[in-house]
Amino acid sequence: MRITMIGTGYVGLVSGVCFADFGHDVICVDKSASKIEALERGEIPIYEPGLDALLARNVAANRLGFTMNTAEAVKGADAVFIAVGTPTRRGDGHADLSYVYAAAEELAELIDEDTVVVVKSTVPVGTNAAVRDRIAAKLKEIGRDIRFHVASNPEFLREGAAIEDFMRPDRVVVGVETDHARDVMAEVYRPLKLRDSPVMFTTLASAEMIKYAANAFLATKITFINEVADLCEKVNADVQEVARGVGLDGRIGPKFLHAGPGYGGSCFPKDTLALARIGQDYASPMRIVETVIDVNDRRKRSMVDKVLDLCDGNVSGKTITVLGVTFKPNTDDMRESPSLTIVPALVGAGAKVRVVDPEGRKEGEALLPGVEWVEDAYEAAEGATALVLLTEWNEFRALDLERMATAMETPRMADLRNVYSPDALQAAGFSAVLVGRDPVSAPAARLIKSA
C-alpha cells in the first residue's frame, strides 16, 4: 500500500515508521523545514525507545521518506492519514480542530479518485463527518468531481512503549462508512492478522467515542486509586496491598492501579477535558469525568503539601532534589506533568531546586525556570534537605539509599511513586513520606543512621 502521513509529531512519526516496517511505502509530510531536514538526517525530534533504529532501517529499505511537498506525497496514495495536533482550545476546553480542518481542505485539491482520508488525530464525536463534509464542499467549490472516502483510526499508543503498542496492539479501531474504505484499511493493517491482533470496524462516531471513553476510563482508574491512597493514609492501610487485592479481581485488573501524584501527558488531561465538554454540549454531562478532572488537578497541588510537611513546613533557602520531571518514564514529554505544578511551587516557596531527569531537560529548561539541572542523582543529593522522587525512571529504582542519605544534609525523601519500601528507607536512615502508606518516622530513621 502507498500511505501518506500528514504530520510528523508523536503519533504521525511513530505510525509512519511502523507502517513502513509493515512493508508499506510511506511518505511523511510536515510544514517545518527544520523537522524534515532533521528526519532526513535520521535525527528524531522526540524520545521514543527504538524509534531511531526503526526509522533508519526503513529509510535504508526505501520504504520511508520525508517531504514538505504535500502534493507530491499525496499523489497515488491509497490512504492519507491526518495526524496533526488537536490541543485543548483556550477558554472553553474543546479540542482545537483547526489543524485537522486545514489539512482536510488542502487534501481536497490533491487527492486522487477513491483515496481514503484517515483521521488519526484524537477528535471529538462528529469530526470525521465534518471532515467529509468540508472536503466535499471544497471539491464542489473548486470544480473537482471525484469520489473519496473518510475513515476514523484513533491511536492507542503509550509514550515509551509506542512501537510495541503499534506492532502488537490490544486492538485496532477503524470507523468507516463505505466498503472501499473498509477494504483499504483492512489491507493497511493486514500484517497484524498474522499476530492475531483484532481489527475492529465501527461507525465513524463509535470510533471517535471509543478513544475518548478508553482514556477517560483509565484516567478514572488512576484517580480512584489516588483517592483510596489518601484514605489509606488516614486508616493506616497500605495502598499497594489494597491495589494488589483489588487488581487480582479479573473484572478489574491490576493496570493503572498505582497511586502517585496524578496523571499527566499528552492524552489523559486533554481527552478527559474534551469528553466533559462534549457531554455538556449534548446535554449529557459526564459527571464522573468532570470529577476526575477536578480531583486530579487538586492531587498535584496536594503533593506540594507532602513535601512541605516532610521539611517541617518550610523549604525557604533549603535544597530540594527532584528525581524525574517528565510525566512518565521513557519519554521526554513534559505536557501536563505533575512536576509543572510541584516544582514551581517549591521554587515559589523559596527552595533551591535541583533536577535530575534522563530526557526531561530539553523541554524542561523552558518550562521550569529557576532550577539547577544536574546529570547525576548522587551529585544532586549533595547537601540536600530532601529528595522528591517524582518520575520512576529505571535509574531511580535501584539507588544506593545509604549513599544518598550520607550525601544529604538531612536524609528525607518524598517517594511520590512508592518505589522504595518503608523498611528499605528506614534502614538507610531516611525519614520519608510515601503515597497511601505509613510514613517513615524521622526519629527511628536517624537513630538507625547514627548507629
Does 195 show up as a binding residue in the annotation?
no
Examine the residue annotation and report whether 18 is marked as an active-site residue of this protein.
no
Does 328 show up as a binding residue in the annotation?
yes
Provide the terminal-to-terminal Cα distance of the chain, rounded to the nearest Å. Answer: 69
Does 257 show up as a binding residue in the annotation?
yes
Does 264 show up as a binding residue in the annotation?
yes
Does 211 show up as a binding residue in the annotation?
yes
Does 362 show up as a binding residue in the annotation?
no
Does 449 show up as a binding residue in the annotation?
no
Does 299 show up as a binding residue in the annotation?
no
Does 122 show up as a binding residue in the annotation?
yes
Does 224 show up as a binding residue in the annotation?
no
Catalytic residue among 18, 28, 267, 311: 267
Does 66 show up as a binding residue in the annotation?
no
Does 259 show up as a binding residue in the annotation?
yes
Does 31 show up as a binding residue in the annotation?
no
For residue 389, which phi and psi values (nearest 5 degrees)? -90, 105
Does 86 show up as a binding residue in the annotation?
yes
Does 352 show up as a binding residue in the annotation?
no
Q: Indicate which residues carry an active-site annotation.
A: 267
Binding site as annotated, residues for NAD(+): 30, 35, 86, 122, 159, 270, 335
Binding site as annotated, residues: 30, 35, 86, 122, 156-159, 211, 256-260, 264, 270, 328, 335
Binding site as annotated, residues for substrate: 156-159, 211, 256-260, 264, 328
